[in-house]
């Protein structure tokens, strides 16, 4: 991905990409309008080749919702091609899915469904996409198993010009949307707040992350909002995490099926921008927090660096890649699994369990109040004590409304 433009200056109130969301305790808007705005104009081919699988799911979900509101997908599909796509998907899953035993089970399920005529009544591409994805996920509920359909032809693997154009198009969208740093704010009581929607590549997001953490460097506690975070690049997770941890810290191992290769992710020993150390950190989650967003929360929870506030997350810990089925269909298949060096397991299927359970709409208020109460008594300066006390009173009043 090309080098990012200079990071935008972080304003004293907030840095927002789309319309600002209030940070009151009971305010939370749907991610759909923002996701649709982020990916509008970006070809599905570009998204499928270069988006991390979790962010891809968010993108396709948003665009599908928009398209469905306009007209149903009526692209016909011939029975022979339909059956060939199902059979080919079964072959690819069996060959590449991260867990071989489950790969066999998923492939057998697809073949049984095909043999029993489950797809016989399907006449359109979108109907096949939806049914095939449902069947893929039904065996072990792996939400990284995805099927995509594009009206436009997908780039062929041997077409570097089309691939480069798609990658450049995606990079422009990441830059335009501030590498998914949607908002940075100093809240009442000197508590910092970051709304982070995904994790771009580390070389792309580094300057923006440095600006955001520089702006919040003098706050006394920090809230990182991942309630609408759909994931991203594991190395991007490590880059942002580096601002919250000292030195080089082992965060995650990615175990590949092929070759039994282990890919380790660590924080950066040397970092552009300040580190946010020795101060409380709270991470907000929702049932839609997924993949890389979950890794960020899970790692910090295991390291006892942050308290997780909100809902149990979606439960996807398997990095994935796309496989072209024909000119218009692709299947996304997990090829590896994450293993935390402390817990020796991951969040696949279970999600990240919050330390302070709260509904997604209430999570910010709960975290803000908890942070303020943690700050009480840490500073004897009368002005600081008065500021924090007033913020607690206001937060408690807001929680009762």
36 in a structural domain: no
CA atoms within 13 A on the CB side of 372: 24
Q: What is the pLDDT of residue 51?
A: 53
**Does residue 35 form part of some domain?**
no
Three-state SS annotation for the chain: CCCCCCCCCCCCCCCCCCCCCCCCCCCCCCCHHHHHHHHCCCCHHHHHHHCCHHHHHHHHHHHHHHHHHHCCCCCECCHHHHHHHHHHHHHHHHHHCCCHHHHHHHHHHHHHHHHCCCCCCCCEHHHHHHHHHHHHHHCCCCCCCEEEECCCCCCCCCCHHHHHHHHHHHHHHHHHCHHHEEEEEEECCCEEEEEECCECCHHHHHHHHHHHHHHCCCCCEEEEECCCCCCECHHHHHHHHHHHCCCCCEEEEEEECHHHCEEEEECCCCCCCCCCCCCCEEEEECCCCCCHHHHHHHHHHHCCCCEEEECCCCCCCCCEEEEECCCCEEEEEECEEEECCCCCCCCCCCCCCCCEECCCCCHHHHHHHHHHHHHCCCCCCHHHHHHHHHHHHHHHHHHHC
Q: Is residue 345 part of a domain?
A: yes
The single residue listed with the structure tokens 């693997």 is 157
Distance CA 35, CA 370 (A): 30
Residue 360 lies inside a defined structural domain of this protein: yes
Instruction: Name beta bridge partners: 186.
Output: 192
The CA distances from residue 231 to 138, 211, 291, in Å, are 22, 21, 5
For residue 118, the model assigns a pLDDT of 98
Work out how many domains the chain is built from and give that number: 1
Instruction: Quote the pLDDT of residue 377.
Output: 83
| Residue 58 and residue 146 in contact, taking contact as beta carbons nearer than 8 Å | no
Residue 312 included in any domain? yes
Half-sphere exposure of 138 (CA within 13 A, CB side): 11
Q: What is the pLDDT along the chain (401 residues), one digit of tens a residue?
A: 333 333 333 333 332 222 233 333 333 333 333 343 444 434 444 454 445 544 555 555 554 554 444 434 689 999 999 999 999 999 999 999 999 999 999 999 999 999 999 999 999 999 999 999 999 999 999 999 999 999 888 878 777 887 788 788 888 888 999 999 999 999 999 999 999 999 999 999 999 999 999 999 999 999 999 999 999 999 999 999 999 999 999 999 999 999 999 999 999 999 999 999 999 999 999 999 999 999 999 999 999 999 999 999 999 999 999 999 999 999 999 999 999 999 999 999 999 999 999 999 999 999 999 999 999 988 889 999 999 999 999 999 999 88
Angle between helices 382-400 and 363-375 (to 10 degrees): 150
Instruction: Assess if residue 217 is contained within a domain.
Output: yes
Q: Are 21 and 183 in contact (CB under 8 A)?
A: yes
The answer to whether residue 111 is domain-embedded is no
Q: Apex CA 26: angle with CA 22 and CA 32, to 5°?
A: 65
CATH of the domain at 249: 3.90.226.10
Full residue range of the structural domain in which residue 201 is found: 178-320+335-400
Residue 96 inside a domain? The answer is no
Distance in angstroms (rounded) separating the CA atoms of residues 356 and 359:
10
* CA atoms in the 13 A half-sphere facing the CB of 119: 30
Rg (CA), the chain: 22
pTM over 0.85: no
């Amino acid at each position: 991905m090309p080098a990012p433009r200079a990071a935008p200056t972080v304003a004293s109130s907030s840095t927002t990409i789309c319309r600002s969301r209030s940070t009151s305790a009971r305010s939370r808007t749907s991610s759909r309008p923002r996701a649709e705005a982020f990916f509008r104009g970006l070809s599905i081919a570009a998204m499928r080749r270069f988006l991390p699988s979790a962010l891809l799911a968010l993108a396709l979900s948003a665009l599908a919702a928009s398209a469905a509101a306009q007209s149903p997908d009526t692209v016909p599909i011939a029975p022979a091609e339909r059956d060939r796509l199902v059979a080919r998907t079964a072959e690819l899953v069996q060959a590449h899915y991260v867990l071989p035993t489950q790969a066999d089970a998923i492939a057998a399920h697809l073949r049984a469904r095909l043999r029993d005529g489950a797809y016989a009544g399907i006449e359109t591409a979108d109907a096949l996409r939806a049914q095939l994805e449902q069947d893929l996920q039904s065996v072990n509920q792996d939400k990284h198993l995805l099927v995509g359909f594009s009206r436009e032809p997908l780039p062929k693997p041997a077409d570097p010009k089309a691939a480069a154009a798609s990658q450049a198009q995606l990079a422009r969208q990441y830059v335009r949307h501030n590498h998914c740093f949607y908002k940075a704010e100093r809240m009442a009581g000197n508590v910092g707040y970051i709304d982070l929607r995904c994790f771009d590549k580390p070389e792309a997001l580094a300057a923006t992350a440095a600006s955001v953490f520089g702006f919040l460097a003098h706050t006394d506690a920090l809230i990182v909002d991942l309630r609408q975070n759909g994931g991203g690049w594991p190395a991007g997770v490590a880059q942002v995490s580096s601002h919250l941890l000292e030195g080089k810290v082992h965060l995650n191992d990615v175990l590949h099926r092929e070759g039994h290769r282990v890919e380790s992710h660590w924080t950066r020993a040397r970092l552009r921008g300040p580190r946010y150390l020795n101060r409380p950190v709270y991470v907000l989650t929702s049932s839609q927090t997924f993949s890389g967003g979950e890794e960020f929360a899970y790692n910090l929870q295991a390291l006892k660096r942050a308290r997780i506030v909100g809902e149990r997350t979606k439960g996807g810990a398997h990095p994935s890649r796309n496989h072209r089925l024909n000119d218009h269909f692709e299947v996304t298949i997990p090829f590896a699994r994450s293993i935390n060096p402390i817990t020796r397991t991951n969040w696949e299927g279970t999600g990240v369990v919050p330390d302070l359970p709260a509904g997604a709409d209430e999570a910010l208020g709960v975290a803000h109040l908890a942070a303020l109460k943690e700050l009480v008594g840490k500073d004897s300066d009368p002005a600081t004590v008065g500021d924090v006390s007033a913020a607690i009173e206001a937060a408690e009043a807001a929680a009762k409304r």
